[in-house]
Amino acid sequence: MNIFKLFVPTKCGLRASLTSSRACLSLFHSTPDTLVEVHSREQEVIIALGSNVGNRLQNFNEALQLMKRSGVHIRRHGCLYETEPAYVTDQPLFLNSAVRGVTKLGPHELLGVLKKIEKDMGRTDGIRYGPRPIDLDILFYGKFRIRSEILTVPHERIWERPFVMAPLIDLLGSHIDNDTVAGWHSFAIHSGGLYESWEKLGGESLIGKDGLKRVLPIGNCLWDWSQKTSVMGILNLTPDSFSDGGKYQSVEDAVSQVRFMISEGAEIIDLGAQSTRPMANRISAEEELDRLIPVLEEVVKIPEVQGKLLSVDTFYSQVASEAISKGAHLVNDVSGGQLDSKMFSVVAGHRVPYVAMHMRGDPSTMQNSENLVYDNVCEVVASELYERVRDAELSGIPAWSIIIDPGIGFSKKTEHNLDILRGLPTIRAEIARKSLAVSHAPLLIGPSRKKFLGEICARPAAVERDPATVASVTTGVLGGANIIRVHNVRDNLDAVKLCDAMLDRRRSFA
């Protein structure tokens, strides 16, 4: 355990010298003169990651695992950015991000650990700022300023590097002083200055421009969801779904429907083998797998599915794991991890994207009166959804692999669904108060043919609700939705194209 000798002069602020190092550490706050000796406890740290050699995402995952084994416990992740190289420009594009965690390692011990990880992963002393499989930099170490022959913290070039500032702001944000839920206070003194520096560089307007793209790793690609809205086609392999139950129970019919939805423009196919309609009876994971796997095994073989994404709609970790092993690219969990305690660890282990949806209770209880009480539905949904995502992140699912879904139709009344559709910016803003990284996540909505549309439009039959679905999708996309989950792909894709064109025009005048 490190021992810090802390001397606090009145005029100079708090200074500390590590007994094991020549480093000089100074705390950010001034305090009265005193001399103390304390045993160091866990310190909050922020570490930047960069890679542009080999499988960049795999390099990130390996480095995170090695950090964990070495005593750095990751609590939060920034977004993932693909960036043009700086300083030495004739080299491949980088992936960049940053993570926030706690460690009992002293600052120079931590530096030694990170340098060993870099070396073990193949980094050499090549060209300064040149290609590298992994680059790990200590941006912050607790409340301390560190100046030694080998280490400077805060990192001295933070302020000039958008590819460092972007994920750093994801972790700190402009509301850090209000971040009481997770207890993160060590970097509060920096948040204002950093945010101002980020704004001077261009802030959020830089994203998508000048070689700084925010991306989500999915399948074999890095998805920049800001370019256009994506359409997810629904394939229900159930006898009792509210809209199309029983239509696609044979493998042949299911595969034919996948081909049809792809021909209509679907980029993602969401396969579900358990009904989540209100009052649906829950089936076992084994029965769900019996319905799902024969279809999935055939779907992955068809040429039309090449370049498309396959999602498994399940709240069972066993089903998720088996589906991923058979070719599914992401997991869509209506329970946000609430119905299977192993879901987060399974998804984290498979390193696939995870759709976390808001729901109270389960499908059989979600419409019970106690689950339909909200003071302000957008604020409450944002808060409860963030809690799910925070638990997922603490279990090892990085923020850069998470998609959020406010759960239209799940434990919501008609008026709640309407408030959510027009309140998507509010949901993002409320999540941003706790985590900017999570607030930047792709946002999925699924209003397709839901009961509230039938109530409003007097359309008791689900198949008659497609025009109302188009209207709700239009509202959602204009409000910031990035993925729409629908039964009727063609008509909703037309709506999405129009919305995207309108949003492009809005951005061109910004």
Residue 259 annotated in active site: no
Instruction: Tell me the C-alpha distance between 354 and 329, whole Å.
Output: 9
**Would you state the structure tokens that stand for residue 374, as one six-digit string?**
């909200």
Largest CA distance in the chain: 79
User: Within its chain, how far is the Cα of 290 from the centroid?
Assistant: 31
Q: What is the DSSP letter of 267?
A: S
Instruction: Tell me the C-alpha distance between 98 and 470, whole Å.
Output: 39
Helix (H) or strand (E) holding 350: helix 343-350
Rg (the chain; Cα; Å): 24
CA angle 157, 158, 161 (to 5 degrees): 90
Instruction: Tell me the C-alpha distance between 451 and 10, whole Å.
Output: 67
The structure tokens 């003071």 sit at: 375
Are 93 and 39 spatial neighbours (Cβ–Cβ below 8 Å)? no
Q: What is the DSSP letter of 86?
A: S
**Would you state the structure tokens that stand for residue 161, as one six-digit string?**
């590097």
Residue 450 annotated in active site: yes
Tally DSSP H helices, then E strands, for the chain.
15, 21
**Amino acid, single-letter form, for residue 484:** I
Are 331 and 324 spatial neighbours (Cβ–Cβ below 8 Å)? yes
Q: What is the DSSP letter of 23?
A: -
Of residues 214, 390, 428, 450, which has the active-site annotation?
450
Handedness of CA 426, 429, 434, 439 (dihedral sign): positive
State whether residue 265 is helix, strand or coil. Answer: coil
| Cis upstream peptide for 154 (omega within 30°) | yes
Strands 402-405 and 221-223: unpaired
Instruction: Tell me the C-alpha distance between 451 and 183, whole Å.
Output: 40
Are 322 and 293 spatial neighbours (Cβ–Cβ below 8 Å)? yes
| Residue positions annotated with a catalytic role | 450, 485
